[in-house]
Amino acid sequence: MKKLKLPVLVTLLAIGSSYNTIAQTAEEIIKKHVDAVGGWDNWKNVISLKETGVMNFGGTEIPVVISIMNGKGYRMDMTIMGMANYMIVTPENGWMYFPIQGQKKAEALPADQVKEAQDQLDVTSDPLINYQAKGNKVVALGKDDVEGTECFKLKVTDKSGKEITMFIDATTYNLIRTKEKSKANGKEQESTTNYTNYQKQPEGIIIPMSVDSEDGPMSIKSIEVNKSVDASLFKPTEEKK
């Protein structure tokens, strides 16, 4: 077995030390972030979540209701010009019914879109909460500035290969921005979402009440945790029994 020359050995030791430091830093950031949003002990008790709010789309306010049953179903209802529109995602299927776009009945989502939307079934809506059990891999990318706020920058890769870059406030450890890479119609695209106005719920979890995505800013008016959810909510209207 050949011996490593001293400069090579020093370099490898430095790389190993750097890797360990990054890993430890990522773990520390994740722990402080999870604590900042209520802690795993509180979040693990959340089975269902219902958010009622208003989205501003081009100056028009659109009522929105998001219902999630952890790991089983996601539904977003939007009332536009008096018409009820919705999108549903389950572990196996998905549907979209938007009569505002001329649809006459619910249409099945393509398999790739259903796969891309699986993270919507996560009631925490946070890839760092219980991230190891979710199969997420996290890498620390140092620090970055987000509109004057110093942030830790983490890259999360989920088990499907989708990448999310998360910007965690270095002072509060709240998530303030995500950049997510996804595929639509075979093309890769990146979307940015900003999170503000964190408020503590009676159950001890802390949720951002203002979410600004490329679809438009959404203001959450009320949140219901662990309320009874009828499983038929996650089926198209014509398939309900």
pLDDT at residue 37, as a whole number: 98
Please state whether beta strands 48-57 and 206-213 pair in parallel, antiparallel, or not at all (unpaired): unpaired
Q: What percent of the chain has pLDDT over 90?
A: 76
Please indicate, yes or no, if residue 213 is contained in any of the structural domains: yes
Q: What backbone torsions phi and psi does residue 24 show, to the nearest 5 degrees?
A: -65, -40
What pLDDT does residue 25 have? 84
pLDDT in tens, 56-87: 988 889 999 999 999 999 999 999 999 999 99
pLDDT above 60 (res 109): yes
Number of CB atoms found within 10 A of residue 140's CB: 19
Looking at the domain assignment, is residue 211 inside a domain? yes
DSSP string, 62-121: EEEEEEEETTTEEEEEEEETTEEEEEEE-SS-EEEE-GGGT-SS-EEPPHHHHHHGGGGG
H-helix or E-strand containing 199?
Answer: strand 187-200
CATH of the domain at 229: 2.50.20.10
User: For residue 14, is pLDDT > 50?
Assistant: no
pLDDT value of position 215: 84
Alpha-carbon distance 97 to 85, whole Å? 6
Asked, for residue 1, whether it belongs to a domain, the answer is no
pLDDT of 15 over the 80 cut:
no
Is 180 within a domain?
yes
Phi and psi dihedrals of 14, rounded to 5?
Answer: -65, -40
Domain extent, residue 182, equals: 6-239
**Could you tell me if residue 123 is inside a domain?**
yes
Backbone angles phi, psi at 183, to 5 degrees: -115, 135
Average pLDDT of the chain to the nearest whole number: 88
Q: What is the pLDDT of residue 183?
A: 65
Share above pLDDT 70 across residues of the chain, in percent, rounded to a whole number: 86
Residue 137 binned pLDDT confidence (cut-offs 50, 70, 90): very high
Alpha-carbon span 84 to 75, nearest angstrom: 13
Can you give the pLDDT at residue 238?
58
Q: Determine the average pLDDT of the residues in 1-7.
A: 46
Tens-digit pLDDT profile for residues 18-64: 444 444 489 999 999 999 999 999 999 999 999 999 999 888 899 99
Q: Burial, 191: exposed, middle or buried (Cβ in 10 Å; 0-12, 13-18, 19+)?
A: middle
Residues 154, 26: contact at Cβ < 8 Å? yes
Asked if residue 213 has pLDDT above 80, the reply is yes
Distance CA(236)–CA(86), nearest Å, equals 9
| Tens digit of each residue's pLDDT (9 = 90 or more) over 93-102 | 999 999 999 9
Evaluate if residue 181 carries a pLDDT over 90: no
- Provide φ and ψ at 213, rounded to 5°: -110, 180
Number of domains in the chain: 1
pTM of the predicted protein model: 0.83
